[in-house]
Amino acid sequence: LKQIPKAIIELLQNRKESNAFRELTDSANLIDFYSNDYLGLAQWESKLHGAHGSTGSRLVSGNTNRTVQIEQELADFFEMESALLFNSGYDANLGLFSSLPQKGDTVLYDQLIHASIRDGIRLGRATSFAFLHNDLAELKRRLESAEGTIYVVVESIYSMDGDEADLRAFASLCEEFGAFLIVDEAHSGGIIGDQGRGLTSQGNLNERIFAKIITFGKAYGSHGAVILGSSVLRDFLINFARSFLYTTAISPQAQERILAVVQKAAKADGARIDLEKNILLFKDLMKLSTFELIPSQSPIQSIVIPGNSAVKQKAKIIQETGYAVKAILYPTVPKGKERLRICLHSYNSEKEIKNLIKAFHE
């Protein structure tokens, strides 16, 4: 099942044959004539802000054995062979989708897929089509006519609607057509599955997906992201993903924080239970509401208030009562589906949730 697209192997082979294959090295023990740390400030530890700089891109001076070790620990935890860190989920998706699908390939993506994936696809040279949100029948029709190597991309939990993809069904359909499934787990990492490993791990699907993306700026309370997949995919991204190659590496402090928050979240069953309780409470209280609540079991609960002006006005009224809610406007969401996107947390109290809903209906 763990196939690698032929073009990817060939591109890496070409790089090796032309002696242009890039590998990550650690030269931190040598005298520095390679970093961009012109004033030595990357070594300075400010009392207020701690921290060292990473001094350059991963391929020049920004890589250390520790970075690689952290990546392997993340790969082990998220149950994939390899991991590669990026400065953000946006960078990860941009790099992956602009480099991996080749000319003549097809990318099929859910119509509600995140902007970072759309932008990546747009920078690449493959043909792409959207399918209706979570619509397996439409995806099947698209798969029947797709050409080249086919990549299907979905989110585990959708960032604006908060609903889940039926990953098992997507995996089966992809297998039927020999397509490669990629899952963006930005909103499930930390909160779903055993120790917060995400929806693919919860469903035992890691053997059946090509890659997944976990971001650390959401439930993990940090920033940065990893692309998890085979070691060949990791080699490929190191060589071809421009948002990895041509940017200063994520700082040592941020790398350590990522590992620490993943380990902390693994032990946070109590917080996950509190979050679940709050989601159930919110949904229960909203049952009586006449407003349209987009069906979702996740912390993302969206109340549709059509029209940019109407939803902005509603958000303003609620904010004046002391609750931070944000209006999500067209064109971020489709016209008529403008909404208040409510994010629930483990630490919101019952009283806060009740009062928020009261403020909403007044």
Ligand X SMILES: Cc1ncc(COP(=O)(O)O)c(C=O)c1O
Active site residue: 156, 206, 218, 278, which one? 218
CB-CB contact of 237 with 99 (8 Å): yes
State in angstroms the smallest separation of the CB of 226 from ligand X.
11
State in angstroms the smallest separation of the CB of 186 from ligand X.
3
State in angstroms the smallest separation of the CB of 86 from ligand X.
8
C-beta of 71 vs 235, nearer to ligand X: 71
Catalytic site includes residue 159: yes
Burial 193-203 (b: 16+ CB within 10 A, else e): bebbbbbbbeb
Sign of CA dihedral 130, 171, 104, 14: positive
Alpha-carbon dihedral 27, 33, 37, 39, rounded to 10 degrees: 140
Binding of ligand X at residue 89 (CB under 6 A)?
yes
Question: β-strand 180-184 against 211-215: which pairing, if any?
Answer: parallel
CB-CB contact of 104 with 70 (8 Å): no
C-beta of 165 vs 357, nearer to ligand X: 165
C-beta of 215 vs 301, nearer to ligand X: 215
State in angstroms the smallest separation of the CB of 328 from ligand X.
12
Amino acid at 3: Q
Interface region with ligand X, contact rule CB under 6 A, candidates 16-24, 122-130, 136-144, 180-188:
180-188
Q: What is the DSSP letter of 96?
A: H
CA atoms within 13 A on the CB side of 310: 10
Catalytic site includes residue 361: no
C-beta of 235 vs 299, nearer to ligand X: 299
Binding of ligand X at residue 225 (CB under 6 A)?
yes
Angle, helices 269-286/350-361, rounded to nearest 10 degrees = 30
Candidates 71, 163, 184, 338: give the one binding ligand X (CB under 6 A): 184
Pick out residues in 103-142 that bind ligand X (CB under 6 A).
114, 116
Candidates 79, 110, 155, 338: give the one binding ligand X (CB under 6 A): 155
233, exposed or middle or buried, with CB in 10 Å at 0-12, 13-18, 19+? buried
Q: Which residue is nearest to ligand X (CB)?
A: 89
> 312 by DSSP, 3-state: which?
helix
Candidates 63, 64, 67, 88: give the one binding ligand X (CB under 6 A): 88
How many whole angstroms separate alpha carbon 333 and alpha carbon 275?
26
Interface region with ligand X, contact rule CB under 6 A, candidates 14-22, 86-94, 190-198, 272-280:
86-94
Binding of ligand X at residue 186 (CB under 6 A)?
yes
Residues marked active site are found at 36, 114, 155, 159, 184, 187, 218
Contact footprint for ligand X (CB under 6 A): 88-90, 93, 114, 116, 155, 159, 184, 186-187, 215, 217, 225
